[in-house]
Amino acid sequence: MSILADTPKPPYYAVIFTSIRTAGDNGYSETAHRMLELAEQQPGYLGVESAREDIGITVSYWTDLESIKNWKADAEHLEAQKTGRQLWYESFKVRISKVERDYGI
Amino acid sequence: MSILADTPKPPYYAVIFTSIRTAGDNGYSETAHRMLELAEQQPGYLGVESAREDIGITVSYWTDLESIKNWKADAEHLEAQKTGRQLWYESFKVRISKVERDYGI
């Protein structure tokens, strides 16, 4: 994930997931990798950007709210969310937002 | 910046700034630090979250679009944006988005 997401002209949606991890891997890395792989296959998926330092930030981009809802309800993803709450994250926040404008170089 | 932003109940706005840096510091770190300091003092500022790995992601949160517009037009910030385009960033993207919903632990 070393490049910026090539998203279309707005509007589209961004899911901003920020987190603080607990100590130890505990299977996190493998699942995180698998979730990125799975997300890419979902209808409405537009791209992802991710970085971790003191905190982790993963922003995934989607065509619409329905696609975000469906991805949240994916069975394998639900299992990962459960383990995330119980084991991997000390705290996290998910923000669903609508991208209204963008620019860059 | 080791904690998650303590934002109010939505709606509010998120500016998602993702970037790839050029090689060398070239004064970047000092200016980046100063910009965070300045941003905090702006009307409508709600918080910031930031991490850099292969790419950098900084998400700043704001009460409304007017506050974002005013911060973008700040004289010292304009100067930093100019140097960013010329010197610090190989590529970047700014996405202005409206946070409609959030949850977390």
Q: How confident is the model at residue B3 (pLDDT cuts 50, 70, 90)?
A: confident
- Number of A:B CB contacts under 8 A? 132
Contact B51 A52 (CB under 8 A): yes
A-contacting residues in B 57-96 (Cβ below 8 Å): 57, 59, 85, 89, 91-96
Q: Is A102 on the interface with B (CB under 8 A)?
A: yes
Decide if B21 contacts B57 (C-beta within 8 A).
Answer: no
Q: Is A33 on the interface with B (CB under 8 A)?
A: no
Q: How confident is the model at residue B55 (pLDDT cuts 50, 70, 90)?
A: very high
Decide if A83 contacts B80 (C-beta within 8 A).
Answer: no
What is the SS3 assignment for B66?
helix
What is the SS3 assignment for A54?
coil
Q: How confident is the model at residue B1 (pLDDT cuts 50, 70, 90)?
A: very low
* pLDDT at residue B66, rounded to an integer: 98
| pLDDT surpassing 50 at residue A27 | yes
Q: How far apart are CA B45 and CA B85, in angstroms?
A: 24
For A25: left if phi > 0, alpha if psi spans -120 to 50, otherwise beta; the answer is: alpha
